[in-house]
Chain A
Amino acid sequence: MHKLAKFVKLACFLVVTTGLTSTFAQVAVSTWGFNMDLINEHITDTFVEQFETEILYDLGNNADRLTRLQLRSDNPEISVVELAPTFAIRAMREGLIEPIDTSRLSNYDALYDWAQDPLGGNHGIGFTVYSYGIVYRTDLIDEPITSWQDLWREDLAGRVSLPNVTTTQGLATIVMASQAWGGDAENPDVGFEKLAELSDDVVTFYARSSELVSLFQQGEVWAAPVLRFAWGSLLDTDLPLAWVAPEEGSVGFVNTVSIISGAPNVDSAYDYINHRLSQEVQSRLAMDIVDSPTRADIEVDAETAEQLTYGDTEMSNLIFLDYDYLLDVESDWIERWNEEIAQ
């Protein structure tokens, strides 16, 4: 039994934990965790310097974080939350986030109009934008892709991947398919029909952008609708790829930052949001291709701009969807997708 005792001791030793105490005030932010090292460099570190407040992060995808916020809503520990469109609307409807007093944000007026109040009632402020376009292999597809309709082309059959309905861009895909074939968000029947028709020729419906990168990498997929923030990862494959802003227009997604209802440390929450929107932070994040800015006064070089959703021309082509409406129809559309398309 001697060995067992030794083993138990070892295990107990591992269980003993060391607590770290900090001298700074703290504010907790719920966010994705995408490019965390750069976020730390450009936001966390600069924030500590300026406000002597440390940022703690609660990381995860939209759904997991929102679920955790719901369950802890009686006694929130987190002050600020960053969410993608439908999830932000959901958080607003459930009263998880509260209106922001924009007069407390000195950087508010520098934002594009569409970034100032994307959710309504000042519940959230857009801090980054990304467009939804189509990426394709220029070496394997001769005739350039210019519109959503091209995804139905004969020469692409069996080479296309579409996002799964459960992704951030899932509902937008149904809207764009409808728009391409004469319908729209309110009349999605034609979109569902055309997607069902295409379904057999779709390699797979991808669930995360990293999955799509490997599908391109291994030559399984030649063309797919993609969110702009994945474009950099796709370029990393060194494949001959092109980005297309489709004729039907590029859907623009705006991620918002909000204050949690009943949040602790509200002052620091405002400081954080103002910092997130500041010219310095937005410009540093843009340079490193973390987030595309929602301020008009950010300058980046052409090569960087290529990988961002950036510039007045690009901005003017963006279409913003009505997520309030999309959230209403979401469960019906997913059910319909399961019945008609994913079979």
Chain B
Amino acid sequence: MPRWAWFLILPATIVLVLAFVLPLSLLFVSSFFAEGGFTFAAYADFASSSASQRAYLRTVRIASIVTLGTIVLGYPAAYAISRVTMRWRVLLIALIILPLMTNPVARTFSWLVILGRTGLINNLLTTIGLDSVRLLYTEGAMIVGLLHLFMPLMMLPLVSAFENIPNDVVPAAQSLGASQAQIFVRVLMPLTVEGLTIGATLVFTGCVTAYVTPAILGGSRRLMLSTLLHQRASTMLDWSGATVVAVVMFLTTLLAMVIIQRLLGFLHSPRGLT
């Protein structure tokens, strides 16, 4: 690499080290010090608490389901967006971002209206003669809420990726006799795997760290790591306890990133076109 290229890299690196690595490392170190001595107590407390264990498993479960959900729904939809005329594309992209723009608490109100016991879905169920069901304050509600919230983070990178595929690639493959499945696996997948990786990483980490949506849609009976962290930080002002949760969240998402890259990197195999 030419020497001048370091000037492209250094500014961002310096900012990240000063305003990110340094303060967080200090906070991390401080979580080992309590009442004047070095201790793992805060970590031991976390590991031994059954409420923490449940919260951990729930977080991983929900984040995985939501990530898969955004891929399954977002992939075909992003493809469809990338194929419409540009006017429509701008409109659709603007509309997709709406969930991110909507105030979290106002958004939660609308879930209450939709999922509530006297809400739209239950009204529909009772009109067609079925029993109303509890939808709100379940893991299902949390999944739906997070799926809604993080769909844009999956869609945007995917749309970008699809836009970069020249328009004639698919017809060309078709004319060469490729089936839909072959086109999907051997043409589209390899060309979009980068977007998919970004999307999956953003969605998974988003789910792990999101607070308002799981707190309100799940209620306090379905604690996730983020709700646990807030409980410690904002009620007990127990910042070393909160830092422990943060460290666990951090390691979890780091592991998830590696897994996502491995899994999707597999799709990026030499069979592809690139």
Q: A-side interface residues toward B, CB under 8 Å?
A: 61, 63-64, 66-67, 70, 90, 164-166, 170, 199, 203-205, 207, 210-211, 214-215, 218-220, 330-331, 334-335, 338-339, 342-343
Docked-complex contact B219 and A205, CB < 8 angstroms: yes
In angstroms, Cα B218 to Cα A204, docked, is 8
Docked-complex contact A219 and B117, CB < 8 angstroms: yes
Docked-complex contact A204 and B223, CB < 8 angstroms: no
Docked-complex contact B234 and A220, CB < 8 angstroms: no
Docked-complex contact A331 and B237, CB < 8 angstroms: no
Check: B14 CB closer than 8 A to any chain A CB.
Answer: no
Query: Shortest 8 CB-CB distances between A and B: which pairs?
Result: A338-B51, A204-B219, A166-B235, A63-B234, A205-B220, A219-B118, A164-B220, A342-B221
Check: B153 CB closer than 8 A to any chain A CB.
Answer: no
Chain B residue nearest in CB terms to A66: B237
Chain A residue nearest in CB terms to B230: A166
What are the residues of chain A within 8 A of B234 when measuring CB–CB? 61, 63-64, 166
Docked-complex contact A166 and B231, CB < 8 angstroms: yes
Instruction: Name 24 interchain pairs, CB-CB below 8 A, sorted by A.
Output: A64-B234, A66-B237, A90-B237, A165-B220, A166-B230, A166-B235, A170-B235, A205-B219, A207-B216, A214-B109, A214-B112, A218-B112, A219-B117, A219-B118, A220-B112, A220-B117, A220-B118, A331-B236, A331-B238, A335-B51, A338-B223, A339-B49, A339-B50, A342-B51
In angstroms, Cα B239 to Cα A207, docked, is 20
What are the residues of chain B within 8 A of A199 when measuring CB–CB? 221
Q: Contact partner of B236 among A61, A203, A204, A334, CB < 8 A?
A: A334
Docked-complex contact A334 and B119, CB < 8 angstroms: no
Docked-complex contact A204 and B117, CB < 8 angstroms: no
Docked-complex contact B49 and A204, CB < 8 angstroms: no
Question: Chain A's nearest CB lies how many Å from the CB of B62?
Answer: 16
Docked-complex contact A215 and B112, CB < 8 angstroms: yes
Chain A residue nearest in CB terms to B222: A342
Known contacts A204-B221, A218-B118, A343-B51; is-contact A63 B113 (Cβ 8 Å): no
Most buried by A among B230, B231, B239: B231
Q: Contact partner of B223 among A203, A211, A342, CB < 8 A?
A: A342
Number of B interface residues at 8 Å Cβ cutoff, please give it.
Answer: 30
What are the residues of chain B within 8 A of A215 when measuring CB–CB? 112
Q: B-side interface residues toward A, CB under 8 Å?
A: 49-51, 54, 105, 109, 112-113, 116-119, 136-137, 215-216, 219-221, 223, 228, 230-231, 233-239
Question: Chain B's nearest CB lies how many Å from the CB of A94?
Answer: 9
What are the residues of chain A within 8 A of B220 when measuring CB–CB? 164-166, 204-205, 207, 342
What are the residues of chain A within 8 A of B105 when measuring CB–CB? 210
Chain A residue nearest in CB terms to B212: A207
Docked-complex contact B118 and A205, CB < 8 angstroms: no
What are the residues of chain B within 8 A of A204 when measuring CB–CB? 136-137, 219-221
Chain A residue nearest in CB terms to B221: A342
In angstroms, Cα B188 to Cα A93, docked, is 62
Q: Contact partner of B116 among A90, A220, A335, A343, CB < 8 A?
A: A220
What are the residues of chain A within 8 A of B118 when measuring CB–CB? 218-220
What are the residues of chain A within 8 A of B49 when measuring CB–CB? 335, 338-339
In angstroms, Cα B236 to Cα A321, docked, is 18
Docked-complex contact B116 and A218, CB < 8 angstroms: yes
What are the residues of chain B within 8 A of A165 when measuring CB–CB? 220, 235
In angstroms, Cα B217 to Cα A207, docked, is 11
Beyond A165-B220, A210-B105, A342-B221, 9 additional contacts (C-beta under 8 Å) are A61-B234, A67-B239, A166-B234, A199-B221, A204-B221, A218-B113, A220-B112, A220-B136, A342-B220
Question: Chain B's nearest CB lies how many Å from the CB of A49?
Answer: 36
What are the residues of chain B within 8 A of A90 when measuring CB–CB? 237
What are the residues of chain B within 8 A of A211 when measuring CB–CB? 216
Q: Contact partner of A207 among B50, B54, B215, CB < 8 A?
A: B215
Chain B residue nearest in CB terms to A205: B220
In angstroms, Cα B212 to Cα A128, docked, is 30
In angstroms, Cα B114 to Cα A220, docked, is 12
Chain B residue nearest in CB terms to A167: B235
What are the residues of chain B within 8 A of A170 when measuring CB–CB? 235
